[in-house]
Structure 1
Amino acid sequence: MSIARGSKSFAAASKLFDRATRERAWLLYAWCRKCDDVADGQDHGHGMSRVEDAPARVAQLRALTHAAFRDEPTGDPAFDGLAVVVRETRMPQRFADDLIDGFQLDADEWRPRSEADLYRYCYHVAGAVGCMMAVVMGIDPADDVVLDRACDLGLAFQLANIARDIEEDDRAGRCYLPDEWLAEMDVPPGQHMKPPFRSRLTVLARRLAARASLHEESARGGTPALSWRSAWAVLAAAGIYGDIAREVAKRGDHAWDHRVTTSKADKLGWIARAAGQAWRRNRYAAIPRDPVLWNRPRG
């Protein structure tokens, strides 16, 4: 199954959904995975490589996605599956366009200058997906309050991924650490993986992990709007992905010696813990969204 090859964490959490939500989530994931693989020359999220025709690839993804939203056959199961999700959920096209805009940023070899730029990128490649997942879980596309919390979860996931994948991204010629952060730490452009700067890189990775934790906690405030099973899945995913950021911070200078992963036992632990959290999810309604957190763009 595509989802099991691409993300064991999402595969584990998605099994907690009711059947209809789970199938829609898998179809949405298959489209996201296909877009990511095509844009980055990957196979189920692995083996990222430079591609010479990145802008053309993104243009193709956008054209096929728009065809899916028009309910036109594309000949590609991932995009035809997206069309099913759109028909069944009233999915707004703006979120899909926002995600593809993220692939365009990478195709243009863009990199963030400021922390706000970093959040903008995280929104495009993950926050928008959080919003789409909320719609799949039955949230009204006009409910900005809950969508903000769903976006927070996507931001938390992406910040954790960036912290974990700094070395892998560097090998592919990419860096998502803001230029202003690197300048603050007196790290020359393109030199952040060099041994003399490892302790400074650790400071920035822990900063990413701290930011991820803030958005992870904020995301819990959206779970009272979900069914119990959807809340269970969301809370399990939050804990599983949150552990990635926490482990990066814990490892310090050795965070990139070996890729950070969560074990099967850790995943099962979070699935069990999240069940209880889901039963008590109404308590999260009292968590106000911190006004200092980055706000997603409105459609």
Structure 2
Amino acid sequence: MTRAELVAAARASIARGSKSFAAASRLFDPVTRERAWLLYAWCRRCDDLVDGQAGGGAMAAVADAPARVAEARALTEAALAGEMTGDPAFDALGLVARETGLPPAWPRDLIEGFALDGAAWRPTSEDDLYRYCYHVAGVVGLMMAVVMGVRPDDAATLDRACDLGLAFQLANIARDLAEDDAGGRCYLPADWLAEAGVPPGEQLQPAYRARVAVLARRLADSAARFEASARAGTPALSYRSAWAVLAAAGIYGAIGREVARRGPHAWDRRVTTGKAAKLGFIARAAWLAARRGTLYPPTPRDADLWARPGR
């Protein structure tokens, strides 16, 4: 496929799989926007392959998860080596890696996150939770930062980019407890559940909803701290990239806050951000991006926040 064809396929993938990311991506300059679509297409394809999904839909039980992870890993390695795989999403990764100098360690780290899901892994501790969030989302923040023009050796800005990925994933986990439970998964640390007196596998039972709501608020509060840290990295970005990042932060931050607000009723229906609210966050983000140098002055990253591997 030509570059234009790969971009078109990637654009269709993000439009189908994530309305929030699709909306935020429109704020990028044209080159960054296309590269963001290309990267998203590969992430979405790997997720769908391992989880038995279609465009980010409901998870389906798969009997051959290790084989699916192995396939995703092999195709990823081929793409990183500059080979054409015949799969548009993996060829999209190869293209964006060549155009941006994307460190190959990061796509490999994301595959390790898919391997955790494929092995039906569950976190025992809070540190386990953050490590998982790094592998499935924090590392996406790192890759997106490079797509936006951040140098791969700019560790300080990359730390903030990773924080945004962690914030997004923590909000997702809080929102999707019911969907994950239906798919046989639980990302609440076993230590948290034990402390709250919630038996394994019973977190969505009516008798324990109030206790689990406290844990969901804990996730949302943690997401908010990582989000605040991520905002401090936006002065290192171009205006349009900062605009997109701040819009996405607002949209996903609202999800975590709404889960916390609903309490035990957070999973009666899925928390979403409507079109009008998205437009509001996009408008506000334009104002914030224009003033990011003043609003987010250079400050050391909070030493109490979980740090990505190698930091």
Indicate conservation of the 8 Å contact 1:218/1:287, yes or no: no
Q: CA deviation at 1:288?
A: 3.1
Indicate conservation of the 8 Å contact 1:223/1:231, yes or no: yes
TM-score (norm: length of structure 2)? 0.95
Indicate conservation of the 8 Å contact 1:152/1:216, yes or no: yes
Match of residue 297 from structure 2: 285
Q: State the one-letter code of the partner of 1:222.
A: G
In 2: Cα distance, 1:3 partner to 1:238 partner: 18
Count of residues in correspondence between the two structures: 299
Match of residue 16 from structure 2: 5
Match of residue 22 from structure 1: 33
Q: Which residue of 57, 61, 83 maps to 1:72?
A: 83
Q: Which residue of 257, 265, 287 maps to 1:246?
A: 257
Matching of residues 250-269 of structure 1 within 5 Å? 250-269=261-280
Q: Which residue of 286, 289, 307 maps to 1:295?
A: 307
Match of residue 7 from structure 2: none
Q: Which whole-Å deviations, capped at 9, do the CAs of 1:195-238 have from their partners, x for residues lacking one?
A: 11010000000000000000000000110110000000000000
In 2: Cα distance, 1:261 partner to 1:4 partner: 16
TM-score (norm: length of structure 1)? 0.99
In 2: Cα distance, 1:193 partner to 1:253 partner: 10
In 2: Cα distance, 1:48 partner to 1:73 partner: 28
Q: CA deviation at 1:285?
A: 2.9
1:123 aligns with 2:131: no
Q: CA deviation at 1:289?
A: 1.4
Q: CA deviation at 1:108?
A: 1.1
Indicate conservation of the 8 Å contact 1:130/1:150, yes or no: yes
Q: State the one-letter code of the partner of 1:183.
A: A
In 1: Cα distance, 2:48 partner to 2:269 partner: 23
Q: Structure 2: 5+ residue runs without aligned partners?
A: 1-11
Match of residue 166 from structure 1: 177
Provide runs of 4+ in structure 1 moved above 2 Å.
285-288
Indicate conservation of the 8 Å contact 1:222/1:285, yes or no: no
1:272 aligns with 2:283: yes
Percent of aligned pairs sharing the same letter: 69
Q: Structure 1: 5+ residue runs without aligned partners?
A: none
Q: CA deviation at 1:240?
A: 0.3
Q: State the one-letter code of the partner of 1:276.
A: W
Q: State the one-letter code of the partner of 2:302.
A: D
Q: CA deviation at 1:286?
A: 3.2
Match of residue 200 from structure 1: 211
1:41 aligns with 2:82: no
